[in-house]
Amino acid sequence: MNAWKASLILLIGSLAVTFLMWYWGLPFFFLFLFVPLLPFLGRKKSIRRCPACGWETSGNERYCPYDATPLETGEQGKRSS
């Protein structure tokens, strides 16, 4: 199931729970509205690795902070090994 279908199903479910909580008078009924966004939060991050020292990051760095070697992505590292 792709993220859009899962998000649509979760949206319908969270709207139902939100309506029921509002109907019963429970506070914070709107907190369930974030549930449809959960499939989009678990996206895979690109891990960059220094080929010289092995330092890894998922940030925006392009060069290793220890030895200034250009970082390679996880896919490049797997192909070259």
Tell me the pTM: 0.40
- 21-78 pLDDT, tens per residue? 888 887 766 666 776 776 666 666 678 888 898 888 877 788 888 888 888 765 544 4
pLDDT score at 29: 62
Residue 22 contacts by C-beta under 8 Å, 6 or more apart in sequence? 29
C-alpha 70/C-alpha 62 separation (Å) is 6
